[in-house]
Copies of this chain bind each other. A is one copy, B any other.
Amino acid sequence: MSKNVKMVQSITSRNVDFAQWYTDLCLKAELMDYSEAKGFIIYRPYGYAIWENIQSYLDKKFKETNHQNVYMPLVIPESLFQKEKDHVEGFAPETAIITTTGVEVLSERLIVRPTSETLFCTHFAKIVNSYRDLPKLYNQWCSVVRWEKTTRPFLRGKEFLWQEGHTIHASENEARTEALNMLEIYKTLGEQLLAIPFVTGRKTEKEKFAGALETYTIEALMPDGQALQSGTTHYFGQEFAKAFDIKFQNVDNQSEYVYQTSWGVSTRLIGAVIMVHGDDEGLVLPPYVAPNQVVIIPIQSQNEDVQQATNQIYENLKAQGIRVFIDDSNKSAGWKFSEYEMKGIPVRIEIGPRDLEKGHVTIVTRYNREKSQVNVDEVALKMPDILKDIHENMLKHANDYVSTHTYVAKTYDEFKEYLKQGGYVQMSISGEDAEIQIKQETGATARIVPFDQTLFTNTCPVTGKKATQTVWFARAY
């Protein structure tokens, strides 16, 4: 198959088969490719560049809030991994294990890190003596391995890229605040970079992280009505500190265990961006996370006026730090339009001689595919506002979708009815008994326990017992 024929028509429509549309898009927009190792994907340049923009945003925020980057080993000796009981139970089945080298069987098996709490804890125990050594606010960028049975690009893989923050504190209050502050940074990432309105809250006992006292989450709603857990922060209390003996002398000179958190987001965020914003023409990237924000396509690129306007606009955009490139290849304009719509580039500028005669160029915004004429001298000047408008409109659109797909159920029948329509269903339930029954009977899981609690009914519609808390349910990835 020649590379010059764009097979736009071969993308499955979202309405026909959402899952297939997603996979088609991941491959055809050249975000990723499958590798020879089953369940492990290749992050191609375009997909990796999205991750780099997410990294750059978060790394800055982490450093502004006094976090420091470190790097822990890829492997965890099996005996170390088994030190915290709940943690190992949660992760052991899905670990990949190194048992041998090219020449000799290892005396102790090494777990490829599925997450690094145990490594951080051992190190913390060595370097902390006094309250003056606290807090330690560490983060690492790396990949982790979890042996998932069914995998989907970016959403669930045997290996994924992420950041994992690990912090220890001298007080419970400070640690709890850290876990909530980092949740807020994740939520802001959604609003400022990804144009995704995350809803936030606590996880139920049943859904929380292995070993955590509290898990907080950001959840995004996909156009198929399913929720996607997009990042979590955990408050561990002193459980790991006790298992790993991380003690410090407090201000009163008493020996005390530290209070701990961890938090992470992963390349799963790329999956969220694809699904929340994409359409049947391909990717639609929010401008601030897009690797390329503007593509300039000269029509009749031999024309001198066109060349001059193209270069001038390019230079002026570049000078403002806007990520822009020119495609003056000899491919057809139609091919280019399709290609860059598939790639989801937020703004396309078409520069043709007829437009130029009237002193303007044509701008097409990807998310709504609207065309407008802009004065050739004003394009660069207006571009920051155009990008801002796109971002705000995309966020608003996504916000509206969440609003119109969030329901309150006062009976179990209502619950089931809303669930069919897709989205979040809020219900006031008795507890884990109701949660388990709902999951078994409807497939929906508890996504969040919202921070602001309102009871909609006095009794639980599922168990008939007293309602104790309101929970947001949804089917989920």
Contact = CB atoms under 8 A, between A and B. Distances in A.
A115 to B, nearest CB: 14
Nearest to A291: B68
A98 interface: yes
Given A71-B43, A98-B112, A99-B97, A133 B37 contact: no
Could you tell me the dominant secondary structure of chain A's interface residues?
Answer: mixed
In the A-B complex, the 6 residue pairs with the smallest Cβ-Cβ separation, listed nearest first, are A40-B73, A45-B68, A43-B71, A101-B147, A95-B102, A93-B102
B45 A138 contact: yes
Interface string A123-137: 100110110110000
A3 B133 contact: yes
Nearest to A40: B73
Interface residues of A, number: 60
Given A37-B76, A73-B159, A42 B129 contact: no
Contact of A45 (B43, B70, B119): B70
A36 B33 CA distance: 35
Nearest to A143: B74
Nearest to A35: B73
Nearest to A133: B3
Interface in A1-28: 1-4
Interface in A423-447: none
A132 B129 CA distance: 61
B123 A80 contact: no
Contact of A41 (B35, B73, B76, B102): B73
Contacts of A126: 33
A377 interface: no
A119 B70 contact: no
B98 A102 contact: no
